[in-house]
Amino acid sequence: MNTFLQLLVNGLGKGAVYALLALGFVIIFKATEVVNFAHGSLVLVGGYLVYELKDALGWVLAAVIGIVGAALAALLIERVLLRNARSADHNSLALLTIGIDVIITEEVVRRVGADIPFIGDPYDSQPIQIGDLTVFRTQAIALVVGAVLITAFLLTFRYSNWGVAMRAQAENREAAALMGINSSRVTATAWLVAGALAGVAVLFMATQDFSGAGLGRGTHAIALIAFPAAILGGLDSTEGAVVGGIVVGLTEALSAQYISFEFSKSAVFLVMLVVLVIRPSGLFGTKELSRV
Amino acid sequence: MSETFTPPAAPPKAPATTTKHPPNWLKIVATAVLLVVLLLLPVIVGNGGVAYLKLAQYILIGAVGGIGLTLLVGQAGQLSLAHPFFLLVGAVGYAVLAGDPEESDDLVGLGLPPLVAVIGAIVLCGLVGLAFAPVAGRLRGIYLGVASLSLVFLGLWLGQSLDMFSGGTSSGRNAPVFALFGFEFANSTPAPTIAGVAIQKQQRLWYLFLAFALISYFLARGAVNSRIGRSWRAVRDNEAAATSMGVHVTRVKAGAFVISSAFAGLAGVMTALWLDLVKPDENEFTGTYSLTVAIAFLAVVIIGGLGSVPGAVIGAALVFGLQQFFLLGSQQFGWFADAAFGGFSAVVVSAFVYGAAIVLVILFEPGGMAAIGRRLLARRRSPDVPSTDDGGRTTPREDRS
């Protein structure tokens, strides 16, 4: 039972990080209908900045710069490339982000080199003992930070002007523009926020406690696991992203323990497949209707 | 989100307009020259140039797989990232079917004739594709793309756990030697010669691969130009309209998936023969059947111009050829020599090149290489014939809701 509780906490901790990433996909998809395959490389950009700067500036300042850097990288992708591909439709743009992802990932992996470092953490990395439970500190902190950020985002999305503009644009782009919503600004902020969330997520992902994958292809692959999270929640649902992240985190933690570590990633995808077969547009996604 | 995964505006080929023109002699001569060069390639590179032959063989693998994927992604409008999985099934299927039962106690081998094993592996891949069809038929666009990604992860896990079939990640298993009517595609003494060049294993494999690639090419062209191709495009452009015209949408989608998987299966068999080894990947992001390969095949299809069969071949030459070319350069001419690890290695540079190629193609030429080729051909035609060809965007895709 204790193992189970512990797995639950670990799974939730991971799930919170996946939720941050999945939320990023969903925000970009809602605002622009583009699926951002380059999300994993934004994660690497943030992590790389922290890794390079933490010795000179200290971890906290480096982390802030990493988050800002990932956000700016996302903005740059949108402003320089996606905006200029006017002739292309959303699906082509999704493919375009694959090209971007290949380039950024190769470059970061090349720069980091063979060591595949961890980016470390400012807090004491000793596991916390609560009774018989041993909880990784990183995952506990990830859970708290994730919960705070996600709540803040969902509230902003619901009540702020920006949130209203975002939702209006997601509903109907032309109508929103006619009502005076600056669609270019909404798109830009969507990418900024998504990039920043990726920058926060990497602070937890590239640590020893999270998965043992350092800053490199391993972390990039973990970001890919957040894809099923966004999909099974429903690509256009912010709440779905959170639920999806938690489902994926728990699935991974439980199957790694009870089936096998190797199987855990396949398990995530299998759960997603089952959900998709039952609900083709995810748990909370809007069902597509075609009028004939 | 749009109806299906709709590729950038790129009709499969300039429709019927080409047939109204007098025969394009340049095209015919160019094709003939190309065929002669391909047939004589082993002689041209000589016995010392086996490395170049290996490079060219690898392009053919990419071409066969790329043709299969372009039918699925470009023609039928179904995004799939599952290609590496089917390569793995094809390679392992061939090894199991043709493998020598006596080779090892731990490995399953049925000892079938190699040609039967190749066909068996292709059929097996088709059947596995069919098994995935109920999922594929229900999903659209990006949802299908990510769902198909799960097959790559499943393949990784199966390859690692079912080592009586796959040989396991540490050692793998030997690829059975291909043989046709007693003629082995392996080294022999004495070897037959063509113009003084000994036709050994690599030369024989080149001809085998060339035959596979040509068969694939013409089958795919046939499919595109036939009723099947029309039903694919109908489904891609508008499922509802296709249904109302009597197209059985789910069946057509499933068929496209099966056919594309079968092509990938053949590419998998070729991969096994090329590497002379069947060995599942150790992780999901690098290796022969990994995510990197899924992206590489997608790059082949995008760069070629979604849906174009000749385009897929050119895309394969760019993506698969360039990677081998850089590797060859690093081995033979000491390119990237100062880049041990963390430098600009051959793999890094080729990834940069095709990553950039994807971006540039979508930004500037959504029709890919196929559209560029069509434009060049159109320019050569007599100027008084008004050409409808504006680089692959002849049919405005306004039929979509």
The pLDDT value recorded for residue B7 is 59
The residue of chain A with its CA nearest to that of B353 is A103
CB-based contact B342 A113, cutoff 8 Å: yes
3-state secondary structure (DSSP) of residue B86: helix
The Cα A245–Cα A228 span in angstroms is: 8
User: What is residue B194's three-state secondary structure?
Assistant: strand
Interface confidence, given as ipTM, is 0.86
Given the structure tokens 């209006």, which residue do they identify? A168
**Min distance A218 CA to chain B CA atoms (Å):** 8
- How far, rounded to the nearest angstrom, does the alpha carbon of residue A213 sit from its chain's CA centroid? 16
Nearest to A91 among B6, B139, B348 (CB): B6
> How many alpha carbons fall within 13 Å on the CB side of residue B85?
24
For residue range B361-389, list pLDDT tens digits in order: 888 877 778 888 777 777 665 454 444 44
Sequence-separated (6 or more) residues with CB below 8 Å from residue B31: none
Read off the pLDDT of residues B25-84 as tens digits, 9 standing for 90 and up. Answer: 887 888 888 888 888 888 887 777 788 888 899 999 999 999 999 999 989 988 899 999
Q: What is the pLDDT along chain A (292 residues), one digit of tens a residue?
A: 677 888 888 889 889 999 999 999 999 998 888 889 999 999 999 999 999 998 888 888 999 999 999 999 999 999 988 887 766 677 788 888 988 998 998 888 888 877 777 877 777 667 777 777 777 778 888 888 999 999 999 998 888 888 888 888 888 888 888 888 888 888 999 999 999 999 999 888 887 777 667 788 888 888 888 888 999 998 888 889 999 999 999 999 899 888 888 788 889 999 999 998 888 888 888 877 666 5
pLDDT at B266: 95
**Chain B residue numbers touching A262 (CB-CB < 8 A):** 157, 160-161
- For the cut 60, the answer to whether the pLDDT of residue B396 exceeds it is no
Q: Are B69 and B217 in contact (CB under 8 A)?
A: no
Percent of chain B with pLDDT over 70: 85
Cα–Cα dist A130/A138, whole Å: 15
Q: Give the pLDDT band (50/70/90) at residue B4.
A: low
CB count within 10 Å of CB A1 equals 6
At residue B20, the pLDDT reads 56
Tokens of B360: 């540039």
CA distance A245 to A37: 17
Better pLDDT: A228 or B348: A228
A66 or B182: which carries more pLDDT confidence? A66
Residue contact A221–B344, C-beta within 8 A: no
Torsion of CA A76, A82, A85, A88, to 10 degrees: 170
| pLDDT value at residue B389 | 40
In this prediction, residue B184 carries a pLDDT of 77
Taking residues B248-265, what's their average pLDDT? 92
Q: Span B88-115, mean pLDDT? A: 84
pLDDT above 90: residue B18: no
Provide the CA B178 distance to its chain's centre, in angstroms.
20
Q: According to the model, what pLDDT value does residue B59 have?
A: 93
Give the Cβ contact number of residue B100 at 10 Å: 13
| Pairwise pLDDT comparison (B88 vs B279), residue with the higher score | B88
Is there a contact between B298 and A100 if contact means CB atoms under 8 Å apart? no
Q: Parallel, antiparallel, or unpaired for β A128-130 and A133-135?
A: antiparallel
CB contact under 8 A, A103 and B341: no
At CA A226, angle to CA A35 and CA B135, rounded to 5? Answer: 70
Task: Read off the pLDDT of residues B195-251 as tens digits, 9 standing for 90 and up.
Answer: 777 777 788 889 999 999 999 999 999 999 999 999 999 988 888 888 888 888 888
- Give whole-number Cα distances, B350 to A145, B3, B54, in Å: 39, 34, 17
Q: Which residue has the higher pLDDT, A292 or B321?
A: B321
Pairwise CA distance, residues B147 & B163, whole Å: 25
H or E element, residue A130: strand A128-130
What local confidence, expressed as pLDDT, does residue B244 receive?
87
Among candidate residues A126, A118, A125, A74, the one with its CA nearest the CA of residue A100: A74
Interface test with A, best of B69, B83, B160, B285 (most A CBs within 10 A): B285
Highest mean pLDDT among A268-282, B81-95, B335-349: B81-95
Of A35, A81, A272, the CB nearest to B142: A35
Are B78 and B136 contacting, i.e. CB atoms less than 8 angstroms apart? yes
- Quickly state the pLDDT bin for B257 (edges 50, 70, 90): very high
Check residue B343 and give its pLDDT.
Answer: 57
What residues in A contact B285, CB-CB < 8 Å? Answer: 217-218, 220-221
Phi, psi of B37 (to 5 degrees): -60, -45
